[in-house]
Amino acid sequence: MKKKLLALGAAAVFALTGLFAAACDNDSQQNTGSDDTQQEQGSDDIQKDPDDGKGDDVKERELRVLREGFTYKIDQTEHTVAYTDSEGKNITLYGNVWAPLKNGKYPAKYPAVILCHGFNGHYTDFPTECQAFAERGYVCYAFDFCGAQADGKSTGRTAADYTPFTMKEDLRAAIADIKTLDNVDGTQIFLFGGSQGGFVTALTAADEDIKDQIAAVAMYFPALNIPEDWHGKPEVTTSPFPGFSISGKYIHSVQDLDPYAVIGNYEKDICIIWGDQDNIVRREFIDRAVEAYGKERVELTVIKGAGHGFVPAVSAEAAKTVLKFMESRTYVVE
């Protein structure tokens, strides 16, 4: 699995073209479970959720609390999602499911996390996060947005037809599919995205008909600057990478969008992790997101020295932060 480290030269290209990097600079190490992985404890400790002002339906549920350091063994399998998009195209999303194992078999239900890669990214971009989340009892699904990279495995759409709004359709289809898996608790679906994937995650979670289905949202350096970067630009195809182009259709779809007028429609909690050396998504865009959501609902972590894309060590720490955020909002399956 290849590394996606963001070099200074690539950053300069992005800055000139108004584009942004693939989601994360993760290491390529995968681990599908080993003999020294801790065995699953017989029953998880649970505690009552404190009165958090979010309604009786939440206050009456019990938080799921796993023993500190406990990890599940996991396995990784291919998974495709087939659907017909709004233009009548037959789309097949390709990705991998990382799932916790219980004595070699899937138990009844787990919460799930759907992971969204960044510009020209792939389903392989978040191995650190998928490993960490699955080991703590989350079914993870990472997939290729269709048409959104030079060499993706999803089919049915080309780069000429892809936009952040086709990505939204892909994500909505993935949510609908993953909710139905036998080992997934469909009432506890978390969304996670990096860069352009964070932008799409934020827009999708705000959809009126879906916002209540999303338990919480976590994002690395969400590229909410995309509309501003493209505003007023000629609607011509541009090629920031060999073999991969941004179409006029893409540019037209976003250049007049105000994402901050949209994203606040999502009313649950948000985790944002951002590096203070990010020259693609500047701090002003993060601050505007916090304001749009409301400071009381956002957990913002600023990593000193990190840029647009995290090296493996930073990814590992960022994943721990996201895990802590999700675990404090994950409930016992009833």
Residue-by-residue pLDDT tens, the chain, 334 positions: 333 333 333 333 333 344 433 333 333 333 333 333 333 333 343 343 444 444 444 457 899 999 999 999 999 999 999 999 999 999 999 999 999 987 666 667 999 999 999 999 999 999 999 999 999 999 999 999 999 999 999 999 999 999 999 999 999 999 999 999 999 999 999 999 999 999 999 999 999 999 999 999 999 999 999 999 998 887 777 766 666 788 999 999 999 999 999 999 999 999 999 999 999 999 999 999 999 999 999 999 999 999 999 999 999 999 999 999 999 999 998 7
User: pTM of the entire structure?
Assistant: 0.84
What's the rounded Cα separation, in Å, for the pair 218 and 25? 17
pLDDT at 242: 67
Question: Cβ(86)–Cβ(172) under 8 Å?
Answer: no
Domain for residue 48, yes or no? Answer: no
Based on its alpha-carbon atoms, the radius of gyration of the chain, rounded to whole angstroms, reads 19
Q: Please give the DSSP secondary-structure letter assigned to residue 127.
A: H
Domain for residue 293, yes or no? Answer: yes
104: its two tokens: 């070699």
pLDDT at 148: 96
DSSP 226-241: HHHHHTT-----EEEE
Taking CA atoms, 99 is separated from 12, 63, 112, 193, in Å, by 38, 21, 9, 19
Residues 6+ apart with CB under 8 A from 139: 97, 98, 99, 100, 110, 111, 112, 113, 178, 181, 183, 184
pLDDT at 29: 34
pLDDT at 61: 87
Domain for residue 235, yes or no? Answer: yes
Domain for residue 42, yes or no? Answer: no
Residue 290 sits at the vertex; the CA angle it makes with 284 and 293, to the nearest 5 degrees, is 140
pLDDT at 237: 72
How many CB atoms neighbour CB 11 within 10 A?
Answer: 18
Q: Cite the DSSP H helix spans in 144-192.
A: 164-178
pLDDT at 59: 53
3-state secondary structure of 285: helix
Beta-bridge partner residues of 77: 97
pLDDT at 46: 36
Q: Please give the DSSP secondary-structure letter assigned to residue 213.
A: G
**Boundaries of domain holding 314:** 8-27+66-327
Domain for residue 185, yes or no? Answer: yes
Domain for residue 164, yes or no? Answer: yes
Domain for residue 54, yes or no? Answer: no
pLDDT at 232: 84
What's the rounded Cα separation, in Å, for the pair 75 and 99? 6
Beta-bridge partner residues of 191: 114, 217
pLDDT at 234: 77
Domain for residue 35, yes or no? Answer: no
pLDDT at 240: 64
Angle, to 10 degrees, between the axis of helix 127-135 and the axis of helix 312-327?
40
3-state secondary structure of 296: helix
pLDDT at 53: 41
- Which CATH number goes with the domain that contains 111? 3.40.50.1820
Residue that the structure tokens 């007049």 belong to: 256
Count how many domains the chain has. Answer: 1
